[in-house]
Structure 1
């Protein structure tokens, strides 16, 4: 008897107008996609993350919380009957390949097409026995995309060092980095969607400032070569490497390069692949991961964001700390034109990643902070991403915090958690394609926070303790007066959207504020 079919929700794109898409004609077009399964024993898993800091192995995560093997086998058989090729089972994920016609027939779901882009026109239908056990499918559209979160200055006369931007020593002095720590023995992973980076650029940067050159490994997630391109994604990879290495010079850096999507592949699937690859990487074993990309959460299917978060949650269980840029569009959160309403960025909305917002930083001649405010859209050149997620609920570590909710919205996960200088008009020196330039944005703040965590972990290891791991609950449970610069001036209104104000304590512009690193190291050790 044929199984009853039910709708699996969360696969449509809220920002797209269905009427603009016509039924797809070239159904032989082949694409990769994924079926992502929910965890078992969800209540126990949440309790462990909230109250138990012990670390699991990858095998233990799968054994304790992974999907039932019989369910996986049944799902494989169902997919294979429809001609879908199961490429691999990878923990909670089945990696799949098939033509759009096969996917339509399997999921009883028509595809729409516009200018080479495709997406579902209806939610998929799946067997009733499968629906309660899946997060959903990723890769059913090639519309959504992550963007680098950096910007260039519009008022270079305000930049430090006679217009050259901040140097590594400026940031180390301003935020009180302990001189005794350098990240030795730790590994920072950098998730990138570029063509690659030029090793000569990063070596020149480090040599200019007398920094011991970190060990950098290039890992291709899906066959993406290191082609040394010159687009915005390549600049992103370069600045991530340069500044993570400058702040933790003896840490190992692993650059995970993934495909940025194409007419036949999904960017959202590439993100899932990259996250899962870093999670599985027992060769390089990244302790910390930094992601400097994002876009407004209404630009992605809900099931896609939940799938990304599932991998981040599993990473938390094995002791990996993930940082992500909160975005550069303030409370607006969208790349390019969109509806004038508040959004937070994805994947910065994930409750299992540390979201990093932005500040505007002014120093005196001794390198001390004269003023630090929330990065505000004064010069129409961006603002700190932040607000309240409409996808993810309030995590346990944010309960009790007065999360600001605007009329017409519901309370959810608050973004960001922490901050660092990000205003491009108080930006950072970067060496790219043989030239010096200055950039800002939360995409610089994220890898610097990853480097700070390498110092925290180094100190913990020296004291005979485990790595900090899932950092979010710890950040909310410490004494913030001694470990953070509380940012109380500024807002993140942007492009006509009224945002949020900086306030004492946590706020939706800078989180808890910018770090006093030496105190943070001590408090988290």
Structure 2
């Protein structure tokens, strides 16, 4: 609470209302800024800075695959707090997950889509290899679920209030946006018309969207009494979550499962800045969707206008 008060007072923003939900008896165990504390506060501070008046709920669960799943399902079916957007900064290469686990998470995200909840997932911070040293590209899960809004990363340079350049975030294999093709999930219906990168097996392409993830131009946060600048796609997921919370408020209803709209009625509406320069290792950015930054970084006003124009069913 002290970190949040100091942080938001410094930004001249209201201190957010944060509720804590314990899953399976778990609770926060603060240690140091480089631990999970940093991830949790990064999510909190970025989302609440974008959507200052949105109520925020943090779900603490055991640090296991089952605990992670239980946290997600608890949030999705939380009839008390009724979240309209969920932000997930955790993930890992698909090859490190069991098929059973991936199916369980995917089913949970499918339920979220049907309930009108957007699930924003970080696409990974280790380039197209996703930290696997076998020379092959790997997609990051749970972002690779077709029911997740996979959030990739850009490198943003600004001149005052104006953006001077924005390219794919790639400072090396251990500091670059994830992205690529799922080896587990087939191409979803909403991506059937895309020209996906050539691969041995075509699968769900990710990310869907992006935003600044470069730690050099990252997000000022306060963790365990320290002021830090943090980057990574785990900052992009809460940024998009905060933006979607604002859009939900303006629209008077939840956007819900955004992906079919992103690849359908919203195409060509200027809702994102198209990133056309850079690579995340195996994949190259280019006009339109690509496996580095998806459709690009958000243009909130254009996205709101496009959503107000209507579209097909959200789920």
Match of 2:313 in 1: none
Query: Whose Rg is larger?
Result: 1
Task: Report the aligned-residue RMSD.
Answer: 1.2
Q: 2:109 aligns with which of 284, 290, 312?
A: 312
Runs of at least 4 residues off by over 3 Å: none
Q: 1:233 aligns with which of 36, 40, 47?
A: 36
Match of 2:156 in 1: 361
Q: Deviations over 1:78-103 (max 9, x none)?
A: xxxxxxxxxxxxxxxxxxxxxxxxxx
Name which structure has the greater RCO, CA cutoff 8 Å, separation 6+: 2
Match of 2:312 in 1: none
Contact 2:27 2:61 in 1 (8 A): no
Q: 1:475 aligns with which of 262, 267, 270?
A: 262
Q: 2:272 aligns with which of 479, 484, 495?
A: 484
- The reply on whether 1:294 has 2:91 as its aligned counterpart is yes
Residues 101-500 of structure 1: matches in 2 within 5 Å? 199-230=1-32, 231-260=34-63, 267-334=64-131, 338-365=133-160, 367-378=161-172, 381-406=174-199, 409-461=200-252, 466-477=253-264, 478-480=266-268, 482-493=270-281, 499-500=282-283
Separation of aligned partners in 2, 1:296 and 1:225: 27
Q: TM-score, normalised by structure 2?
A: 0.94
Gap runs ≥5 in structure 2: 309-315
Q: Deviations over 1:165-214 (max 9, x none)?
A: xxxxxxxxxxxxxxxxxxxxxxxxxxxxxxxxxx1111211110101112
Q: 1:254 to 1:415 in 2, by over 3 A?
A: same
- The reply on whether 1:508 has 2:304 as its aligned counterpart is no
Separation of aligned partners in 2, 1:521 and 1:444: 21
Query: 1:228: how far off?
Result: 2.4
Separation of aligned partners in 2, 1:424 and 1:227: 25
Query: 1:467: how far off?
Result: 1.6
Separation of aligned partners in 1, 2:288 and 2:43: 29
Query: 1:481: how far off?
Result: 5.1
Query: 1:475: how far off?
Result: 1.4
Residues 11-90 of structure 1: matches in 2 within 5 Å? none
Contact 1:455 1:521 in 2 (8 A): no
Q: Deviations over 1:226-266 (max 9, x none)?
A: 23222521110011111111100000000011111xxxxxx
Q: Deviations over 1:303-343 (max 9, x none)?
A: 21011000100111011110000000110113xx6322110
Separation of aligned partners in 2, 1:481 and 1:377: 31
Q: Deviations over 1:28-59 (max 9, x none)?
A: xxxxxxxxxxxxxxxxxxxxxxxxxxxxxxxx
Query: 1:424: how far off?
Result: 1.1
